């Protein structure tokens, strides 16, 4: 396998595009799995392009957001003599939105809004950092197995946009042409609203299964983005109520307005409407539309002049905000005129908190009455279906509840048993499950402190505390938690923690009497440090005499004192009965090289003891330095001594 950057071991290819290939890789320094995106060699030959690519990649690496695929590193590597830029990214396992729609079919408007909400959060964070994505498309929106949404390739497309070869690279353009804003298609500068246009195209495809514009070539598609109006997405979605149709059309077609000034101006603004759409509430885009009743065909007209570099400005045909539903006849269109007027009147009178359903209940209602049925506890879909079969208009609100499952009806207003005219409005309050809260970061807290923090957030500490060693977190403090800090979970949930027991502990082994080299090697393998203290001893040089804390448990990295023999002592035998010469030879054989000093002369009646050692200092079994003095007391027999004197 190939190693790039002296760090990243490339594995199998996991994706390819018009301008790059993506590989799974291993970061050999940190031991983690990453994804490496490498520019194709033909694109990398352009030095200016490489520089733009590098600059944008470095900018993207500055982004830090939970819904943005993290960029860890950038670099260049030699491929066939060409310096090829690469980007090291977070490895995300899951499916992209394109695969989800292709394999599972189109999403409901509510599900699409729910999935794309995190995308707007990611875009807003990017825009706040001054980075425009420029290539928002389903393939760049990943959904993990746990439901997390991640957006990738922030800012990378600018290098392609700036490249003089961009529009000649068909393979590079075709992947983005279906989501290209009109200003980008005409070579104008992109801004944050260009990303919003692209996200509108993505949502269009998510709910219908097809992009808003299709053509045989990328250029044909780009032309449609500039000159043609998309068919209202609601015409491609079966079984939508009029309310749902107006809502989904308003959100998508506002995002896809030809003129940037007529779109959502920020991703955060679009996020607010997606949240309303997700909950089945009236969106601001729908309200803004019905505030113009003079447009009976749901048209939002403006003049937008695109100035071509080689021609004078020319008028572009008016853009429809919402096209006619193809299955509506003249009478239904007339009814929509009435609806628009009524909604406009409600808004003018300050009725800000209203629902389209309420006004529709007025249009065409009859005097026939129905009884509100019991729907509390039923699933939302079942309750709505039952009420609509009775001719009632239904508004759905959500509210958290600690016990009732998400999607089940909590209450109905008017209450069950009430008599209402057909066409009247009823409001269902549906459980959104337990209220969501952010999990606090518990790292470095004691379990008691963590329990208090969790209580403030409406959460509980799991009593089953896990324990593990840590080289960085002190004993008794929390080293990890599940879910992680910053995660959103339902109130009342439990958070599990692992408490540090300090550094890993090891038992100091008993190795007295062994050679110092062997002892030091063993201690090093256990993660222990050693310090050597040489002491006078008659034991062989290098023999370990004592080990501090032997047999006890200590933390890794603890320094253990080893007392080691320097071999400079000898243990004295009993020299009594030997002559000085004999004793000296015995001691020399033991490695002693000091002086043998004569001490006292002691009289003895035994002539055989004459001139032998009566005793010595130090005494038997005592230790003396090899260069130390030994004093000996000798026996003296006067008779023998006298004879020796005569013989001399």
Q: Could you tell me the CA-to-CA distances from 396 to 46, 192, 431 in Å, in that order?
A: 56, 33, 10
d(CA 435, CA 622) in angstroms, rounded, equals 82
Q: ω into residue 414 within 30 of 0, thus cis?
A: yes
Please name the fold of domain 572-647. Trypsin Inhibitor V; Chain A (3.30.10)
**Band (40; pLDDT cuts 50, 70, 90):** confident
pLDDT band at 120 (very low <50, low <70, confident <90, very high): very high
Residue with token string 């957006």: 151
Mean per-residue pLDDT, 305-320: 32
What are the CA-CA distances from residue 470 to residues 437, 464, 503, 557, 645 (Å)?
Answer: 29, 19, 5, 12, 84
User: What pLDDT score was predicted for residue 436?
Assistant: 79
For the chain, report the end-to-end CA distance as a whole number of angstroms: 97
Q: Which two tokens stand for residue 242?
A: 């009029």
- How is domain 365-431 classified at the CATH fold level? Trypsin Inhibitor V; Chain A (3.30.10)
Give percent of the chain above pLDDT 70.
83
Output the known binding site. Answer: 37
At the topology level of CATH, where does 505-565 sit?
Trypsin Inhibitor V; Chain A (3.30.10)
Whether the CB-CB separation of 587 and 631 falls below 8 Å is answered with no
Provide the CB-side half-sphere exposure for 390 (13 A, CA). Answer: 22
Mean local confidence (pLDDT), 460-483: 92
Residue ranges for the binding site for ATP? Answer: 37
- Read off the tokens for 53: 């690519």
What tokens does 274 get? 């997606």
Task: Give the pLDDT score at 429.
Answer: 92
What is residue 146's predicted lDDT score, i.e. its pLDDT?
86
Q: CB under 8 Å to 346, separation ≥6 — which residues?
A: 354, 359
Average pLDDT score over the chain: 82
Assigned CATH topology for domain 94-348: Transferase(Phosphotransferase); domain 1 (1.10.510)
For residue 4, what are the contacts with CB-CB under 8 A and spacing of at least 6?
Answer: 10, 36, 75, 77, 86
Least confident of 20-34, 292-306, 408-422: 292-306
Which phi and psi (to 5°) does residue 260 adopt? -55, -30
Annotated catalytic residue 135: yes
pTM over 0.85: no
- Token code pair at residue 6: 């002296």
Instruction: For 49-82, write each residue's pLDDT tens digit.
Output: 777 777 767 777 778 898 999 888 888 999 888 8
- pLDDT of residue 355 exceeding 60: no
Q: Bridge partners of 78?
A: 83
- Quote the pLDDT of residue 639: 80
CB 401 within 8 A of CB 431: yes
Q: Is the pLDDT of residue 216 over 50?
A: yes
Give the pLDDT score at 291: 54
Higher pLDDT pick, 315 / 366:
366
Angle at the Cα of 354 from the Cα atoms of 348 and 355, rounded to 5 degrees: 125
Instruction: Specify the pLDDT at position 158.
Output: 54
Cα 578 to chain centroid distance, Å, stands at 85
CB–CB of 27/81 below 8 Å? no
The pair phi, psi for residue 165, each rounded to 5°, is -95, 5
- State the pLDDT at residue 1: 64
Band of pLDDT at residue 503, cut at 50, 70 and 90: confident
Alpha-carbon dihedral sign for residues 581, 582, 588, 594: negative
pLDDT exceeds 80 at position 366: no
Q: Is the dihedral of CA 310, 134, 228, 221 positive or negative?
A: positive
Q: What is the pLDDT of residue 312?
A: 32
Residue given tokens 């990398």 in the structure block? 44
From 96, 135, 195, 273, the catalytic residue: 135
Q: Determine the pLDDT at residue 375.
A: 92
365-431 and 436-500 have identical folds = yes
Q: Is the pLDDT of residue 487 over 50?
A: yes
The pLDDT score that the predictor gives to residue 343 is 41
pLDDT at 163: 43
The helix/strand/coil state of 382 is: helix
How, if at all, do strands 32-39 and 82-90 pair?
Answer: antiparallel
Domain boundaries along the sequence of the chain: 3-90, 94-348, 365-431, 436-500, 505-565, 572-647
pLDDT recorded at residue 399: 82
Quick check: 488 pLDDT over 90?
no
What pLDDT shows up at residue 648?
60
% residues pLDDT > 90 (the chain): 53
Answer yes or no: CATH 3.30.10.20 is held by domain 436-500. yes
CA distance to 28, 42, 53, 76, 254, per residue, from 81 (Å): 25, 12, 19, 12, 48
Reported as a single tens digit per residue, the pLDDT across 271-306 is: 999 999 999 888 999 888 665 543 433 333 333 333
Residue 95 in this model has a pLDDT that exceeds 90:
yes
Find residue 633's DSSP bridge partners: 615
Least confident of 2-6, 109-113, 388-392, 643-647: 643-647
For the cut 70, the answer to whether the pLDDT of residue 332 exceeds it is no
Question: What are the tokens at 106?
Answer: 């189109």
pLDDT at 288 (0 to 100): 81
In terms of CATH architecture, what is 3-90? 2-Layer Sandwich (3.30)
Q: Where are the alpha helices (DSSP H) in 84-216?
A: 97-104, 109-128, 157-162, 170-177, 182-185, 192-208
Distance CA 55, CA 155 (A): 9
Angle at 387 between CA 116 and CA 425, to 5 degrees: 80
Residues 6+ apart with CB under 8 A from 151: 67, 68, 69, 118, 119, 122, 123, 133, 136, 140, 141, 142
Q: How confident is the model at residue 260 (pLDDT cuts 50, 70, 90)?
A: very high
Q: Per-residue confidence at 220, pLDDT binned at 50, 70, 90?
A: confident
Reading the block at residue 469, the tokens are 């060693």
Among 126-130, 230-234, 355-359, 557-561, the range scoring the smallest mean pLDDT is 355-359
- Exposure string for 481-492, b = 16+ CB within 10 A, e = fewer: beeeeeeebbee
User: H helices of 437-530, where?
Assistant: 447-456, 516-525
Rounded Cα distance, 288 and 347, in Å: 10
540, 565 Cβ separation under 8 angstroms: yes
3-state secondary structure labels for all residues of 521-561 = HHHHHCCCEEEEEEECCCCCCCEEEEECCCCCEEECCCEEE
Residue 89 three-state SS: strand
pLDDT of the residue at 48: 73
Print burial letters for 289-323: b (CB count within 10 Å at least 16), e (below 16). bbeebebeebbbeeebebeeeeeeeeebeebbbbb
Q: In what helix (H) or strand (E) does residue 638 lie, and over which residues does it extend?
A: helix 638-647
The pair of structure tokens assigned to 453 is 């923090």
């Amino acid at each position: 396998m190939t190693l790039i950057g002296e760090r990243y071991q490339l594995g199998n290819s996991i994706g390819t595009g018009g301008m790059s290939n993506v590989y799974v890789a291993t970061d050999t320094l940190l031991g983690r799995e990453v994804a490496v995106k490498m520019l194709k060699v033909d694109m990398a030959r352009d030095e200016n392009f490489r520089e733009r690519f590098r600059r944008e990649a470095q900018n993207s690496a500055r982004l830090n957001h939970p819904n943005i695929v993290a960029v860890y590193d950038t670099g260049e590597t030699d491929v066939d003599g060409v310096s090829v830029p690469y980007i090291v990214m977070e490895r995300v396992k899951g499916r992209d939105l394109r695969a989800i729609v292709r394999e599972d079919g189109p999403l409901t408007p509510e599900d699409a809004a729910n999935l794309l909400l995190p995308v707007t959060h990611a875009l807003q964070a990017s825009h706040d950092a001054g980075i425009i994505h420029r290539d928002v498309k389903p393939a760049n929106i990943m959904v993990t197995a746990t439901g997390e949404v991640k957006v990738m390739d922030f800012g990378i497309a600018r290098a392609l946009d700036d490249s003089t070869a961009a529009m000649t690279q068909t393979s590079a353009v075709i992947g983005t042409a279906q989501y290209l804003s009109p200003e980008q298609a005409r070579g104008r500068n992109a801004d944050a609203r260009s990303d919003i246009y692209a996200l509108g195209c993505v949502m269009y495809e998510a709910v219908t299964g097809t992009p808003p514009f299709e053509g045989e070539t990328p250029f044909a598609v780009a032309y449609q983005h500039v000159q043609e109006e998309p068919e209202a997405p609601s015409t491609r979605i079966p079984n939508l109520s009029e309310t749902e149709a107006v809502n989904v059309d308003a959100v998508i077609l506002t995002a896809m307005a030809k003129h940037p000034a007529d779109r959502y101006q920020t991703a955060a603004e679009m996020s607010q409407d997606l949240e309303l759409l997700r909950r089945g509430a009236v969106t601001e885009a729908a309200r803004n539309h019905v505030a113009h009743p003079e447009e009976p065909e749901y048209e939002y007209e403006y003049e937008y002049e695109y100035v071509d570099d080689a021609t004078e400005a020319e008028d572009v045909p008016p853009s429809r905000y919402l096209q006619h539903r193809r299955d509506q006849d003249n009478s239904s269109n007339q009814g929509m005129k009435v609806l628009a007027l009524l909604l406009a009147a409600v808004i003018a009178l300050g009725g800000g908190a209203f629902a389209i359903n309420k006004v529709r209940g007025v249009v065409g209602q009859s005097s026939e009455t129905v009884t509100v049925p019991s729907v509390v506890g039923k699933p939302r879909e079942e309750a709505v279906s039952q009420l609509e079969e009775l001719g009632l208009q239904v508004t759905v609100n959500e509210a958290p509840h600690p016990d009732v499952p998400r999607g089940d009806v909590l209450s109905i207003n008017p209450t069950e048993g009430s008599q209402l005219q057909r066409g009247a409005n009823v409001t269902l309050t549906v459980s959104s499950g337990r209220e969501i809260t952010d999990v606090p970061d518990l790292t470095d807290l004691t379990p008691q402190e963590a329990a208090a923090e969790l209580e403030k957030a409406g959460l509980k500490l799991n009593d089953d505390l896990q324990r593990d060693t840590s080289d960085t977190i002190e004993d008794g403090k929390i080293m990890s938690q599940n879910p992680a800090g910053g995660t959103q979970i339902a109130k009342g949930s439990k958070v599990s923690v692992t408490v540090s027991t300090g550094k890993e502990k090891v038992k100091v082994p008993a190795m007295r009497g062994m050679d110092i080299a062997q002892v030091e090697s063993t201690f090093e393998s256990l993660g222990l440090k050693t310090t050597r203290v040489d002491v006078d001893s008659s034991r062989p040089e290098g023999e370990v005499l004592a080990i501090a804390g032997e047999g006890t448990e200590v933390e890794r990295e603890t320094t253990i004192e080893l007392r080691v023999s320097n071999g400079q002592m000898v243990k004295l035998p009993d020299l009594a009965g030997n002559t000085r010469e004999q004793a000296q030879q015995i001691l020399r054989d033991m490695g002693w090289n000091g002086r043998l000093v004569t001490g006292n002369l002691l009289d003895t009646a035994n002539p055989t003891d004459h001139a032998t050692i009566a005793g010595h200092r130090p005494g038997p079994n005592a230790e003396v330095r090899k260069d130390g003095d030994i004093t000996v007391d000798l026996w003296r027999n006067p008779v023998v001594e006298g004879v020796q004197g005569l013989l001399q």
